[in-house]
Each structure stands twice: as C-alpha cells, then as structure tokens.
Amino acid sequence: MILSRKTLPGFVAAGFVMTALLGGALAQPRPPGAMKETMEIGDEPGRVSTEEVSITDGPYARQMVLFRSSEPAGTVVIHSGERFLYIVQGNNRALRYGIGVGREGFTWSGQVQVSRKAEWPDWRPPPEMLQRQPYLPRFMAGGPGNPMGARALYLGSTVFRIHGTNQPETIGEAISSGCFRLANGDIVDLYERVPLGTKVIIRHKATL
C-alpha cells in the first residue's frame, strides 16, 4: 500500500463520450458549474435509496470515455479533483463513473488494492465524522437507509472505501470523510466488475 497526501500536478483527462451505459431510476446531481468545494450537508441515516438509483444524465452519468493510461485493463483510477472514477478498459478507453469525494482536509492520494467487498455494508461513522455530526448513530446495520449504500469496496488496510450512498444528489461534491461514494445503481455495477485484489490508484487530479 502506498499513500500520500501530496497534491499531484495534473491536467484534465480526455473525457469524450463514446457510449452511454445508462439505466435505473433518475438521480440529478448538481451541474459542475454550481459545484462548491465542500457541500455543507450532513449524512442522513434512515433515508431510503434503493439499488436502482443511478445518475442517468449529465457529466456524472456512467459512460465509456477516451482515457489515456499505461495501467492494465481492470485497474481502477480515481481522479478526486475531477470527481470521476475510471475502470481502465484498454485501447485508450475507460468506463467512467461520477463520484462524491472527501471534503477539504480529507482528500488523499496513493495506491491500494481492493481488500474486501460487502453488500449492504454496516456503518460505523469515524470519530472525525462524529465530531461534525454528533447526532449520528455509533453503529447502523446495512440496508436501504444506511449512508454506506448498497455495496462497498474496502481499500487496503485503510479506513476508506468506495461505497454507495442514500444521498445521490451529493455525487460530484466534496462531502465525505475521505471515502468515495457513488449512486447505488452505479456502485452495484462497479461491484460486479471489480474483483478482490484490484489495483486502485487515487489521484487528486489527472496526470500524464
């Protein structure tokens, strides 16, 4: 596992849409022009969001894009500065998902592997989150009202995960305590494509 909090220099990766892979219920994220650096809303335990909820319109919709990378097919690359997660497909293509990322002070970069997978994972808010939102439960069993959403991919030995959310409107925002969130329909799709041991590269911005 390799972790760093340094911001990496970068440029915007090619993002020309080739084919949209859409489906499920509609969830509308904020347009990029309206994005704040940090979205000032709290988690909402108990708010129900099913497996079918996906981002179906706009830049955060799941779609195939041009993506230049020397990484082998199957590698997951996260560009938190652009709010996108990519699965490298080879031939300069990748499947791209819109994501929510860590708020200011909770961004990170590095290289890890998917060490565990879980369906409807339980939730234990970390101390940093409880300091900001003391009303949160200390433990919540998995289910449609759980802020961890429908699936979770655990990242190495860190406390961070790629997971679903019961707040799909937060996709494209900096809101989490360091985890990466997708709409439930998108994390279900990602979960099926990413096996244990998959390399995950986290970058603040796209790089050459």
Structure token digits, residue 60: 């955060």
Q: What number of residues does the chain have?
A: 208
CA dihedral 138, 118, 147, 182 (to 10 degrees): 150
CATH code at 154?
A: 2.40.440.10
User: What residues in the chain have per-residue pLDDT under 70?
Assistant: 1-52, 205-208
CA dist 151 and 132 (Å) reads 24
**Catalytic residue (one of 76, 179, 188, 206):** 179
Burial of 205 (0-12, 13-18, 19+ CB in 10 A): middle
**Does residue 208 sit within a domain?**
no
Asked about 79 being catalytic, the answer comes back as no
Q: How much is the pLDDT for 43?
A: 59
Q: How much is the pLDDT for 204?
A: 81
Domain of 57? 2-203
Q: How much is the pLDDT for 5?
A: 39
Q: How much is the pLDDT for 100?
A: 95
What tens digit of pLDDT does each residue of 50-106 get? Answer: 666 788 899 999 999 999 999 999 999 999 999 999 999 999 999 999 999 988 888
**Catalytic residue (one of 103, 163, 203, 204):** 163
Q: How much is the pLDDT for 131?
A: 84
Looking at the structure of the chain, the number of domains it has is: 1
**Does residue 19 sit within a domain?**
yes
Asked about 193 being catalytic, the answer comes back as no
Rounded to two decimals, the pTM is 0.75
Q: How much is the pLDDT for 140?
A: 82
